[in-house]
Amino acid sequence: MVLAASSASESVSAGSDGLSPRQLVEFYRLMALSRRMDDREILLKRQQKIYFQISGAGHEALLVGAALAMRPGYDWFFPYYRDRALCLALGFTPADMMLQAVGAATDPASGGRQMPTHWGSRELNIVSLSAATTTQLLHAVGCAEAGRYYSLHPETAAKADDYRAYRDVTFHSDEVVYASVGEGSTSQGEFWEAMNTASNKKLPVIFCVEDNGYAISTPVEVSTPGGNISRLVANFPNFFFAEVDGTDPEASYYAFQAAVAHCRAGLGPAFVHGHCVRPYSHSLSDDEKLYRTEAERKADALRDPLVLMRARLLRQRILTEGEITSIEHSLDQEVSEAAERALQAPLPKVEEIRKHIYSEDLDPTSAAFASEQKKNDAQDAKPRTMAGLINACLQDEMRHDSRIVVYGEDVADASREAALAEVTGKGGVFKLTAGLQSEFGSERVFNSPLAEANIVGRAVGYSLRGMKPVVEIQFFDYIWPAYHQIHNELALMRWRSNGQWACPVVIRAPIGGYLTGGAIYHSQSGESLFTHIPGLRVVMPSNALDANGLLRTAIRCDDPVLFLEHKRLYRETHDRAPYPGPEFAIPFGKAKIVRPGADLTLITYGALVPRSVQAAERARREHNIDVEILDLRTLNPYDWEAIAESVKKTSRVIVAHEDMLSWGYGAEIAARIGDELFDLLDAPVRRVGAMDTFVAYQPILEDAILPQPETIFKAIVDLKAY
């Protein structure tokens, strides 16, 4: 048996009856290094030289055991903030950690953007983590799915002359994916969603639960029924389970070794539950004396893994007191030097704050995305609806790029493939993905569980590995369980990791009302909640041709994109278009002048485009008002130049959208026009939007709640008369 090599520990052999003395010394060295890093950071925090501290104290034995059973840069790691000992044992250096603590420009995980202990290293396959507990478990699942996909289809890893050029794809057919959380975090739905998919797909994910008995001040029995997570997960199929004393180095190491063997053999995921202690309170901002008795704290102190390990090394005469002191002395020196160097390190530049919000490699507003429609033959000249041209784009792009996977609720033709011999298949509740599974197979087009965070969280993991997930949220109204993943993970990944990682995923979501009976939960808008997220592109086409060209840009883009498809427009006949060919693309951030005019600018998008056209035509007929309509098409980025150009010409502006008026998308556009174009205006900027309420079921109410052509018409006439 061989302990895995890592850059921080040499490869050494263990005897059959336990770790060799040399291994135990190395084990101890790594544990002690971790603790001394914590101690030094605590000192620096008290000296106000760093700004936050959370320790890995009490978890060291479990985590060194974990790290030594795996291979950095080969396996994948989704740790959490307590995993200092794991990261050190994988090769993340004390110097790297100190650079994080001081927030240096050279902090390798985030360039001073994230708190310390929010690890990240491309070289070691340690993926950037957020402060949100548990989200990373779903990333681990998607990462494992991507690894399996590449192993089965190695040709897909080849670089191509598009966004794939910016992704280094490496994979190993027996790689494993480590993901850890505290016991408190197992209460999050995402924990169960990750366990679900890992189990169902027999993925090589090692879930590590570091159970220190508390989630800040909340003891385990409050969060976990019966007080033991192992008992609750015991019936998940395909798992290897181990529950260990996480203060015992050997028990921990062997548990992980068995877990790794199970995963590498392709038998399924593993679950290692380690019972640890937490000697240093939750963080330096917490004082556990406020909620733990002295007796309890004393009992915990007796289980401190570092104290136990030191005693054992002495008892077994592996090291003398003097040798332990000498190891600790050299660790102190290493830690001091790291701290000193970090305190001299260059600080991040204020001018670079915006760097890496979006891809620096590929600009979706560039002319490269403005490609022509092809000449149509008779077959293609037949006009198709928005639904038809979105489906055609998905089909074309999947043919073009074998890294695309499409999944979501009910998007497959039929999960039970044999049924397809007799039935035509579902292909999405709106049939936008119809036929894709039949053409591309069930590995690339499949149904997800009914869990929106699962859909987006896995997409984060897939995309980190260079895959292109194009996922569907069945109704915008149910995107909210995924909002956390979108806001805190998907869109943030590139910026928070200082450009090391990115998640260029496409999320397609049917949105909007005007359905006559769609009611509260099938009519929602809410795009401004997404345009408010830096790092996320938001697209909302109003017609079939734009939907096709913009979806192609979304898929070929290097940023995450929320692609909002208005349900009411899916099958409209008046805006159909001929198939524009497999290369037709429209750049982001380019508004379309739907109707030129001289008297008034009407800025809009989505289902309000056809309604605005109706209103404008009536205004022309009845009042001879010449309205210019701008369809923004993409909401982030949006075409400020086109807006400014039009306002210069007309001096009067209405911003109209279907979403509620207050705090809606129009508020931002109106404010910016007021701010930057005030001198050009002859009238206040007017907004049109829905009433500030949800959409009701009864059509009379729905009509009154949502803006109608009549509402827009009145606003036009009013504003012209101002």
Ligand X SMILES: Cc1ncc(C[n+]2csc(CCOP(=O)(O)OP(=O)(O)O)c2C)c(N)n1
Number of residues that bind ligand X (CB under 6 A): 15
Q: Are 17 and 24 in contact (CB under 8 A)?
A: no
Within residues 572-631, the interface with ligand X by CB under 6 A covers none
- Sequence-distant (6+) residues with CB within 8 A of 113 are 348, 495, 496, 498
Give the residue with the Cβ less far from ligand X, 177 or 208.
Answer: 208
User: Interacting stretch for Mg ion, rule CB under 5 A, among 131-139, 182-190, 306-314, 566-574?
Assistant: 182-190
Find which of ligand X, Mg ion, none residue 181 binds, CB within 5 to 8 Å per kind.
Answer: ligand X
Which helix (H) or strand (E) is 608 found in, with range?
Answer: helix 608-623
Instruction: Provide the angle, in degrees to the nearest 10, between the axes of the packed helices 94-102 and 21-46.
Output: 20
CB 314 within 8 A of CB 321: yes
Interface residues for ligand X in 175-194 (CB under 6 A)? 181-185
E strands present in 494-617: 506-511, 537-539, 561-566, 592-595, 600-604
Structure tokens at 473: 């949220």
Give the interface segment with ligand X, choosing from 110-118, 207-215, 249-257, 709-717 (CB under 6 A).
Answer: 207-215
Looking at residues 105 to 134 of the shown chain, list those that interact with ligand X (rule: CB under 6 A): 131-133
Q: Which of 522, 532, 574, 623 is catalytic?
A: 522
- SS3 assignment, position 552: helix
Q: Which member of 50, 115, 143, 215 binds ligand X (CB under 6 A)? A: 215
Residue 585 binding: pick among ligand X, Mg ion, none (C-beta 5-8 Å cut-off by kind): none
Looking at the Cβ atoms of 212 and 646, the one nearer to Mg ion is 212
Closer to ligand X by CB, 80 or 475: give it. 80
Q: Assess 182 for contact with Mg ion (CB under 5 A).
A: yes
Which tokens is 488 given? 């805190």
The nearer residue to Mg ion, 84 or 403, going by C-beta atoms, is: 84
- Which partner, ligand X, Mg ion, none, binds residue 691 by CB below 5 to 8 Å per kind? none
**447 contacts 455 by C-beta, under 8 angstroms:** no
Q: Which stretch binds Mg ion (CB under 5 A): 161-169, 178-186, 331-339, 539-547?
A: 178-186
Contact of residue 105 among Mg ion, ligand X, none (CB under 5-8 Å per partner type): none
CB of 591 to ligand X, least distance (A): 38
Binding partner at 454 among ligand X, Mg ion, none, C-beta below 5 to 8 Å by kind: none
Q: Which of residues 72-91 bind ligand X (CB under 6 A)?
A: 82
> Nearest-CA neighbor of 213 among 281, 131, 130?
281
CA distance 175 to 266: 10
In the list ligand X, Mg ion, none, the entry touching 131 (Cβ below 5 to 8 angstroms by class) is: ligand X
Q: Cβ 118 to ligand X, closest distance in Å?
A: 11
Closest CA to 257 of 141, 247, 244: 244
CA 240 to chain centre: 27
Can you tell me which of 110, 121, 180, 212 binds ligand X, judged by CB under 6 A? 212
Residue 278 or 566 having the CB closest to ligand X: 278
Neighbours of 349 (CB within 10 A): 11
Q: Which amino acid is at 376?
A: N
Segment near ligand X (CB under 6 A); pick from 211-219, 397-405, 493-501, 610-618: 211-219
Least distance (Å) between residue 212 CB and ligand X? 5
Measured between alpha carbons, how far is 505 from 460 in angstroms, rounded to an integer?
A: 7
Task: Burial-class residue 114 by CB neighbours within 10 Å (0-12, 13-18, 19+).
Answer: buried
| Other residues' Cβ atoms within 10 Å of the Cβ of residue 116 | 26
Element of type H or E holding 544: helix 544-556
* DSSP string covering 399-444: HH-TTEEEEETT-SS-SSGGGGGT-----STT-TTTTHHHHH-TTT
Which among 104-112, 175-183, 188-196, 291-299 is the span making contact with Mg ion, rule CB under 5 A? Answer: 175-183
Question: What DSSP assignment string belongs to 661-682?
Answer: STTSHHHHHHHHHHHHSGGG-S
> Is there binding between residue 216 and ligand X (CB under 6 A)?
yes
Q: Beta-carbon neighbour count of residue 686 at 10 Å? A: 19
Span 197-236, contacts to Mg ion by CB under 5 A: 212, 215
Pick from Mg ion, ligand X, none: which does 216 bind, CB < 5 to 8 A by kind? ligand X
> Do 262 and 270 meet the contact criterion of CB atoms below 8 Å apart?
yes
Q: Which is nearer to ligand X, 133 or 485 (CB)?
A: 133
**Strand-pair partners of 2:** 13
Cβ distance 138 to 195 under 8 Å? no
Is 200 or 283 the residue whose CB approaches Mg ion more closely?
283
Nearer to Mg ion, 213 or 364 (CB): 213
Nearest CB to Mg ion, comparing residues 189 and 684: 189
Residue (182 or 610) nearer to ligand X, CB: 182
**Min. distance of Cβ 484 from ligand X in angstroms?**
7
Question: From ligand X, Mg ion, none, which one binds at residue 132 (CB under 5 to 8 Å depending on kind)?
Answer: ligand X
Identity of the residue, 23 or 224, whose beta carbon is nearer to Mg ion in the bound complex: 224
Maximum C-alpha span of the chain: 99
Q: Which residue is nearest to ligand X (CB)?
A: 182
Residue 142 or 184 having the CB closest to ligand X: 184
Residue 9's binding partner among ligand X, Mg ion, none (Cβ under 5 to 8 angstroms by kind) is none
User: Does 282 qualify as catalytic in the annotation?
Assistant: no
CB of 64 to ligand X, least distance (A): 16
CB of 209 to ligand X, least distance (A): 9
Q: Which stretch binds Mg ion (CB under 5 A): 3-11, 181-189, 360-368, 547-555?
A: 181-189
Strand partners, 76: 177
Return the residue nearest Mg ion (CB atom). Answer: 182
Minimum Å distance from CB 37 to Mg ion? 20
Q: How far is the CB of 626 from ligand X (least distance, A)?
A: 53
Which partner in Mg ion, ligand X, none is near 273 (CB below 5 to 8 A by kind)? none
Indicate the pairing of strand 218-219 with strand 240-245: unpaired
Q: Find the DSSP H helices in 155-282.
A: 189-200, 220-223, 229-233, 249-264
Q: 437 with 427: CB under 8 angstroms?
A: yes
Distance of CA 40 to the CA centre of its chain: 33
- The verdict on 210 binding ligand X (CB under 6 A) reads yes
Q: How far is the CB of 276 from Mg ion (least distance, A)?
A: 8
Per the rule left: phi > 0, alpha: psi between -120 and 50, beta: everything else, 226 is left
Give the count of residues interacting with Mg ion (CB under 5 A): 5
In 3D space, the residue among 216, 214, 213 whose CA is nearest the CA of residue 282 turns out to be 216
**In angstroms, rounded to a whole number, what is the distance separating the alpha carbons of residues 685 and 601?**
10
Nearest distance from C-beta of residue 120 to ligand X, angstroms = 17
Q: Closest Cα partner for 481 from 184, 138, 129, 146? A: 138
Q: Three-class SS of residue 180?
A: strand
Task: Choose among 252, 385, 378, 382: nearest CA to 309.
Answer: 252
**Nearest approach, Cβ of 487 to ligand X (angstroms)?**
12
Shortest spacing between CB 208 and ligand X, in angstroms? 11
Residue 314 one-letter amino acid = L
Q: Footprint of ligand X on this chain (CB under 6 A)?
A: 82, 131-133, 181-185, 210, 212, 214-216, 282
Residues that are catalytic: 522
Q: Footprint of Mg ion on this chain (CB under 5 A)?
A: 182-184, 212, 215
